[in-house]
Amino acid sequence: MLESEACENTNYNPLIVAFCCNWCSYAGADGAGTARKSYPANIKIIKVPCSCRVNPLFVLRAFLRGADGVILCGCHPGDCHYTSGNYYTRRRMKLLMSTLSYLGIEDGRMRVEWVSAAEGNKFSETMNSFAETIKSLGENVKLRDLRCKK
Amino acid sequence: MQKIAELIKKEAESLLKENKVTAVWAWQPGEFYYDNSPVCFTAPEQLDKLVYNEFCPSNLGKYLMAGSKKNETMAVFAKPCDTYGINQLIKDHRIKRELITVIGIPCSGMIDIKKIKNQGVKGIISVSVSGDDVIVTTAYGDKNFKKSEVLLAKCMSCKGSDYMIADKELGEKMEVKCQKLNPEDGVKKLEAMTSQERFAFWQQELSKCIRCNACRDICPACSCEQCIFDNQEAAVAGKASANTAEEQMFHIIRAYHVAGRCVGCGECARVCPQGIQLGLLNTKFAKDINEFYGKYQPGADDDSKAPLVDYKFDDVEPTISAKGVR
Amino acid sequence: MLKINKAKWAELFAALSAQGTLYLPAEVDGKVDFTVWQDGTEVNLQATQTAKSIKNVFFPQIENLLDFKTDGLKLSVEQRMLPEEDTIAFGVRGCDVCSFEVLDKVFLKEPVDAFYKARREHCTIVSLACSAPDETCFCDTFAIDATNPGGDVTTWLVGDDLFWQANTDKGKELTEKIQALLAEGDEAGVNAQQKATKEIMAKLPLADFKIDPKIPAEQEKVFNSAIWKQLSDSCLSCCACTYVCPTCHCYDVRDFEIDNKVERFRCWDSCMCKDFTKMAAVNPRVSRLERFRQRYMHKLVYFPENNEGTFACVGCGRCLQKCPVSLNIVKVAKALGVAKDV
């Protein structure tokens, strides 16, 4: 995999966790690979059966244990493999993001994007732009467990 | 209040004597005038200990869970605000509706003894309340208060005198007379702050937490049989207050888990031994839900779909207004 | 007896703080708690009680014991340093002073708890006599004299003067170091205050509350009492009472894993918790009744039985103030009929 431009020539390499649904976004990542589109290597993908499998606790725990950014990708609303899973995700994550911002956590540390299996390009663009955002935000210090300091 | 207490006693007596229920949940006096605690009466002769006055803030609904599991018939006395919690427990399948008899009792607001004590009142020997006058007799002399000024925070944002569920209503409905507070005001004040200020505020609030779990254990929406924070295998069980990150996690997740089910009874903030303003977190979720998905009052009924287990095709997207703003 | 005027307290605290980390009751976020003194700390010597007890200073809620590190196949174990800095606990009330007697019986008995012992040995306790007891106070039940609380040094706050009297060698040593700040005072003011305080205590609702010293002998009867059911039915099973109690001392030992390192720490635990002492598989006390009974049996029966009749309660009244549903040791003792109303 190619190193993204965004992460070149600096010492800071943010750790990013991406939850990708099995049916659309994970296949989208594959699509990006097939199309030889790059995305940063410091994005760790966790495959989930559906975006609505992601409990808000997973997101918080990722931050707690040292992630600098968390992105959640699922099928476009209406395209869920299980018909309605991502509609629930949409409500849940909207509330979680609003609350994180309310608690004083930087907006942008968490993102939700809909990426279909055919959107390899979008996957790569999304990940690159997210990595850039996180880089500009710097390390996650607010949500991290102090004991996990690198 | 004395009159209502008599009515409650009579009602409890007839329910127990006629064997309509096996247990009655009410309040009994403590060591001082202000520390009544919930109690389960099972025989008519115990009822001389029953009490109802301005110091009965506890919602008795959650106690019905244990009996409901054992298929016991129970009666419960519920103030208007308590009925929301009872409805929620029925909706969450924690209480079987057919087993319980809910008796609505009027309330004119409960007094916050902490507000009185915070004004330097010590050595309380007795308290007497008549109308708006509260006379506190202490070993250091008498002190007078206005009831409207020493009400519990939850009573200052009283949702009204109507019962959401009641098989019978005792006495006449009463109003809480005081300067009303809108719980959303506190949230709006925080929202108007900068991100840094909000972070500093929550750090200070949440670092007070001693993880006693009182907020969780009193909450009518926190009714899981096994809480994830009690499960050692869950890797998030933290008995310790290791650092604020762990407390943040506990309180965010707890508030999140009750989002759309939190009836706004304010009990969590009332029982917190450290005085954490937990209402500000729960109210934020309620406010967001109202804004994004339409007005919803959990506990107002026992069959509507909660906002987080429902969706619309055109729901608002989880995008952020300004990307990457510190 | 020595004394020091309010005008010189700032100097006193600075001088004490030069001798070691100084913990004293101060306003923090609207509550009074033991806090490390710094310039500008809002000291509050009027509050009858701190929200949390002095236990937090000697037996913190969370404490790291060991670190395990792996380097390839090598495993190393690192013991955490013992807390051996000198400390002074100032303004400790009589009930909290006596809580050490209970904790010492647990932590200083074999096997000795090295962390607790280190803190205890390096601390000088400066107690503060009560002059305005609250209705929740019942230290008198355990023959604790709130007006003469003991410790290494006893102090009395009379008007604007703080009277000072060293009781032990440790106390005398500390007194010598700050001698320059102290003036001679006479005992009349202190005696008058002690008398007045005792008169007030006699008026308070719990003045007559006594626990029958014979209960430990009636273990079986108490254990099987029917009253546990009704009382435990209303208990929420939270740990508020345990965590504010100056004598509760149960803890759990846990590991925290970080990449190639494990931190072993201990943290307070409560017998009220569902997941307390998970032995081979489960907590042997499955029901709330059993857990509730355990806490009070421990305080009123088991502990005195093993420790020459000392109850594991000092009457500070924190559980009376903090229980969300107003269940507390007084209510339990009275319901059990072990309370003797004299």
Residues 6+ apart with CB under 8 A from A80: A23, A50, A74, A86, A87
The per-residue pLDDT of chain C, averaged, comes to 91
Q: Do C31 and B217 touch (CB under 8 A)?
A: no
The pLDDT, as a whole number, for residue B57 is 94
Nearest chain A alpha carbon to B284: A99
Q: How is B196-258 classified by DSSP, letter by letter?
A: HHHHHHHHHHHTT-----HHHHH-SS---SS-GGG-GGGS----S--SHHHHHHHHHHHHHHT
Flag whether residue A147 sits within 8 Å of chain C, measured between CB atoms.
Answer: yes
- For residues A96 and B255, give the distance between their C-alpha atoms in angstroms, rounded to a whole number: 10
- Count the domains in chain A: 1
Beta strands in C97-174 (DSSP E): 123-128, 153-158, 161-166
Percent of chain B with pLDDT over 90: 80
Q: Do A146 and B326 touch (CB under 8 A)?
A: no
Q: Do A148 and C263 touch (CB under 8 A)?
A: no
Q: Do C234 and B239 touch (CB under 8 A)?
A: no
Identify all chain A residues contacting C258, using CB atoms and an 8 Å cutoff.
147-148
- For residues C56 and C243, give the distance between their C-alpha atoms in angstroms, rounded to a whole number: 9
Residue window 71-130, chain A: list those with CB within 8 Å of chain C. none
In a domain, B33, yes or no: yes
SS3 labels along C65-98: EEEEEEECCEEEEEECCCCCCCEEEEEECHHHHH
- Give Cα B39 distance to the centre of its chain: 17
CATH number of residue A51's parent domain: 3.40.50
- Give Cα A9 distance to the centre of its chain: 23
In a domain, B55, yes or no: yes
Q: Do A102 and B190 touch (CB under 8 A)?
A: yes
Test the C interface: residue of B62, B212, B236, B267 with most C CBs within 10 Å: B212
| C61 touches B240 (CB < 8 A) | yes
In a domain, B102, yes or no: yes
Nearest chain A alpha carbon to C67: A147
Retrieve residue B186's tokens: 């506190």
Q: How far is C245 from chain B (nearest CA, A)?
A: 12
Model confidence pLDDT, tens digit, residues B40-62: 999 999 999 999 999 999 999 99
- For residues B300 and B87, give the distance between their C-alpha atoms in angstroms, rounded to a whole number: 7
Test the B interface: residue of A55, A94, A137 with most B CBs within 10 Å: A94
Domain span including residue B232: 182-326
Could you tell me the pTM of the whole model?
Answer: 0.91
Residues 6+ apart with CB under 8 A from C11: C181
Model confidence pLDDT, tens digit, residues A124-138: 999 999 999 999 999
pLDDT surpassing 70 at residue B326? no
Which helix (H) or strand (E) segment is B53 a member of?
A: none
| A52 touches A86 (CB < 8 A) | yes
ipTM for the complex shown: 0.90
Retrieve residue C264's tokens: 């072993």
Test the B interface: residue of A51, A98, A141 with most B CBs within 10 Å: A98
Model confidence pLDDT, tens digit, residues C320-339: 999 999 999 999 988 887 66
In a domain, B73, yes or no: yes
Q: Do B212 and C274 touch (CB under 8 A)?
A: no
| B266 touches B157 (CB < 8 A) | yes
In a domain, A148, yes or no: no
The pairing of strands B74-78 and B100-104 is parallel
Q: Do A93 and B292 touch (CB under 8 A)?
A: no
Flag whether residue A33 sits within 8 Å of chain B, measured between CB atoms.
Answer: no
| B310 touches B259 (CB < 8 A) | no
In a domain, B51, yes or no: yes
Q: How is B138-158 classified by DSSP, letter by letter?
A: ETTEEEEEEGGGSB-HHHHT-
Q: How far is A38 from chain B (nearest CA, A)?
A: 22
Which of B150, B179, B208 finishes a domain?
B179
Nearest to B104 by CA among B82, B125, B120, B122: B82
In a domain, B26, yes or no: yes
Q: What number of CA atoms fall less than 13 Å from residue B291's CA on the CB side? A: 11
Neighbours of chain C (3+ CB pairs under 8 A): A, B
The pairing of strands C251-258 and C261-268 is antiparallel
Residue C116, SS3?
helix
Q: Do C204 and B31 touch (CB under 8 A)?
A: no
In a domain, A72, yes or no: yes
- Count the domains in chain B: 2
Beta strands in chain A (DSSP E): 16-21, 43-48, 69-74, 110-114
Q: Is residue B35 domain-shared with residue B99, that is, in the same domain?
A: yes
Q: Is residue B227 domain-shared with residue B163, that is, in the same domain?
A: no
| A40 touches A131 (CB < 8 A) | yes
Tokens 């005992």, residue located: C187
Rg (Cα) of chain C, in Å, rounded?
A: 22
Residues 6+ apart with CB under 8 A from B168: B11, B101, B102, B103, B104
In a domain, B101, yes or no: yes
Q: Can you give the residue ranges of every domain in chain C?
A: 2-341
Residue window 68-97, chain A: list those with CB within 8 Å of chain B. 77-78, 84, 87-88, 90-97
The pLDDT, as a whole number, for residue B246 is 76
Test the B interface: residue of A91, A115, A146 with most B CBs within 10 Å: A91
In a domain, B3, yes or no: yes
Instruction: Give the confidence band of B244 by pLDDT, cuts at 50, 70, 90.
Output: low
Identify all chain C residues contacting A148, using CB atoms and an 8 Å cutoff.
258
Model confidence pLDDT, tens digit, residues A68-98: 999 999 999 999 999 999 999 999 999 999 9
Model confidence pLDDT, tens digit, residues C284-297: 888 999 999 999 99
Retrieve residue C292's tokens: 């509730």
Instruction: Give the confidence band of A150 by pLDDT, cuts at 50, 70, 90.
Output: low
Q: Is residue B174 domain-shared with residue B35, that is, in the same domain?
A: yes
Angle, to 10 degrees, between the axis of helix A85-102 and the axis of helix B183-191?
80
The per-residue pLDDT of chain B, averaged, comes to 91
**Residues C101-121, mean pLDDT to the nearest whole number:** 94
Nearest chain C alpha carbon to A64: C258
Flag whether residue C257 sits within 8 Å of chain A, measured between CB atoms.
Answer: no
The pLDDT, as a whole number, for residue A5 is 42
Flag whether residue C258 sits within 8 Å of chain A, measured between CB atoms.
Answer: yes
- For residues B199 and B85, give the distance between their C-alpha atoms in angstroms, rounded to a whole number: 31
Flag whether residue B240 sits within 8 Å of chain C, measured between CB atoms.
Answer: yes
The pLDDT, as a whole number, for residue B136 is 94
| C186 touches C6 (CB < 8 A) | no
Q: How far is B37 from chain C (nearest CA, A)?
A: 5
- For residues B219 and C305, give the distance between their C-alpha atoms in angstroms, rounded to a whole number: 38
Neighbours of chain B (3+ CB pairs under 8 A): A, C
Q: What number of CA atoms fall less than 13 Å from residue B278's CA on the CB side? A: 33
In a domain, A115, yes or no: yes
Identify all chain B residues contacting C251, using CB atoms and an 8 Å cutoff.
none
Model confidence pLDDT, tens digit, residues B110-130: 999 999 999 989 999 999 999
Bridge partner list, C218: none
Angle, to 10 degrees, between the axis of helix B183-191 and the axis of helix B279-293?
90
Residue C322, SS3?
helix
Q: Is residue B206 domain-shared with residue B316, that is, in the same domain?
A: yes
- For residues B55 and B34, give the distance between their C-alpha atoms in angstroms, rounded to a whole number: 5
Residue window 256-285, chain B: list those with CB within 8 Å of chain A. 256, 259, 281, 284-285
- For residues B241 and B211, give the distance between their C-alpha atoms in angstroms, rounded to a whole number: 6
Q: Do B210 and C243 touch (CB under 8 A)?
A: yes
Identify all chain B residues contacting C324, using CB atoms and an 8 Å cutoff.
58, 214, 217-218, 267, 270-271
State which amino acid sits at residue C116: Y
